[in-house]
Amino acid sequence: MISTLLKAASVAALLSSSAFAADTDWNERFKEILGKSITFHTAEGHGQVPAYAAYLADQLKAGGFAAEDIHILPHGETAALVVRYRGDGSAGKKPILLAAHMDVVEAKREDWERDPFTMVEENGYLFGRGIVDNKFGVTSLVTTFLRLKAEGYVPNRDLVIAFSGDEESSMVTTKAIANEHRDLTDAEFVLNADAGGGTIGEDGKVLSYSLQAAEKTYATFHLTVTDPGGHSSRPTGSNAIYRLAKALTAIENYSFPVNTNDITLGFFKAQGPLTGGELGAAMTAFAKNPKDKKAVATLRKQASYVGVTGTTCVATMLEGGHAENALPQSAVATVNCRIFPGEGVALTQERLQKAVNDDHVVFTQRGESTESPASPLRDDIMTAVTDAVHANFPGLPIIPAMSPGATDGMHYRAAGMPTYGIESIYMKNSDGFSHGLNERVPVATIPVALDQMYRVLTTLTK
Ligand SMILES: [Zn+2]
């Protein structure tokens, strides 16, 4: 057995000058890299992203990637990793950028049933912080690079990995990858392994695959009312809390105009027959005619779909007053918006102000927003993804998706690189614990995910 392995290894080394044998079990290699990935505590503030990037860089160097094609780009306590897989240029096209993020949302040992920074396999699941979001995506891209290299594959254009290091917080590394380091990362389009994916029903049946091609813009406003105040025994007609309450009621009652794009229409068209019933009929009707008032009303009653029909804004926080026996001198509400691509923050604020119709309610935007256009549903990408999905699940519906925001994709789209979320995890909605406790991924999805990623990358580059 040992001699056979050694023989295989030396033959593979001759064929591909790779350190890995041609008969490497890529599912096992994937689990090994994923397990090691989980041990890096890459939540904001722990300074572990550069060490994680260095570990990944070492795997790729050992797999035959030249040091000059691997770049760790430090930014404060975190870092980005950019790795170029050189093609022969025969396609005459710009590279394809492959995105994922190395950082995770914080996880506290005492809140988890298992150590969040040790990968644990139990009952068909792998547990750990980041096991879905997004170390699975990172590992599937790294493993696929290693496999392609080991097989001696030469793409017809460059493939460039771009891993960010602070997607869950400020996205400074993402902005840097998309803009400042464009010499390393310029691409025709981006495939993002942090969005999209397959849905499995509670009965275990695989239902659909969603491909993310647009994101809404995230924007938060403070609505502030100030007043001279006074003694609570002497009420006036200008109470700041009442005034703010009226403004919030106006926002509650305001309905943003219906909006659509190719992605949302494609989503409802595909999702209608899968959903069935009155809701499914409303989806199908909306996809045919977005002016169908009855369909709009039905969809807008559903928390999962109201945001696919247009912009939404909702009150999320409230503070006001300073003493129980004083008239309030100020009242402030926080309103969070998910803005339909193309509408913009300024127009959204204008619409809210018009709905409120009170100059004493002062609007201020909190933080910055990145507005990004929807990415066109290109034939080459749709075909590559559809074929890869159907290789494992023949005929599975492919559903274009617009996510409520925000992933690294918005910065790439804003920088002029269309972006497609092609994560290859298949799981039940009830297993979704990203950002939460006991984050898990089904072990059974690994071979499918790797196969799909391999097919997508090779189809687009041969
Ligand atoms: Zn993520």
Kindly state whether residue 202 falls inside one of the protein's structural domains: no
- Span from the CA of 340 to the centroid of ligand 1 (angstroms): 21
407 CA from centroid of ligand 1 (Å): 6
233/303 same-domain check: yes
Tokens of 208: 């659909």
- Domain tally for the chain? 2
Long-range contacts of 324-327 (CB under 8 A, 24+ apart): 324/232, 325/231, 325/232, 325/233, 326/229, 326/230, 326/231, 326/232, 327/227, 327/229, 327/230, 327/231, 327/232, 327/234, 327/235, 327/236, 327/239, 327/240
Assess if residue 392 is contained within a domain.
no
Ligand 1 centroid to Cα of residue 327, in Å, is 45
Give CA separation, 179 vs 92, 216, 415, 416, in Å: 23, 20, 7, 10
pLDDT at site 370: 92
- What range defines the domain where residue 118 resides? 2-195+407-459
- Do 208 and 321 meet the contact criterion of CB atoms below 8 Å apart? no
| Protein residues placing their CB within 5 Å of the ion ligand 1 | 133-134, 194
Residues 74 and 33 in one domain: yes
Q: What is the pLDDT of residue 408?
A: 93
Share of the chain above pLDDT 90, in %: 91
Query: CA neighbours within 13 Å on the CB side: how many for 312?
Result: 17
Shared domain for 137 and 168, answered yes or no, is yes
Same domain, 159 and 13: yes
Q: Are residues 274 and 360 in the same domain?
A: yes
Q: Are residues 31 and 143 in the same domain?
A: yes
Contacts of 324 (CB under 8 A, 6+ apart): 232
The number of residues in the chain equals 462
Between the CA of 132 and the centroid of ligand 1 the distance, in Å, is 8
Q: Give the pLDDT confidence score for residue 22 in this predicted structure.
A: 55
Low-confidence ranges of the chain (pLDDT < 70): 1-22
Question: Residue 180: CB partners within 8 Å, gap ≥ 6?
Answer: none
Q: Tell me, yes or no, whether 229 and 359 share the same domain.
A: yes
- Determine the distance separating the centroid of ligand 1 and the alpha carbon of 434, expressed in angstroms: 8
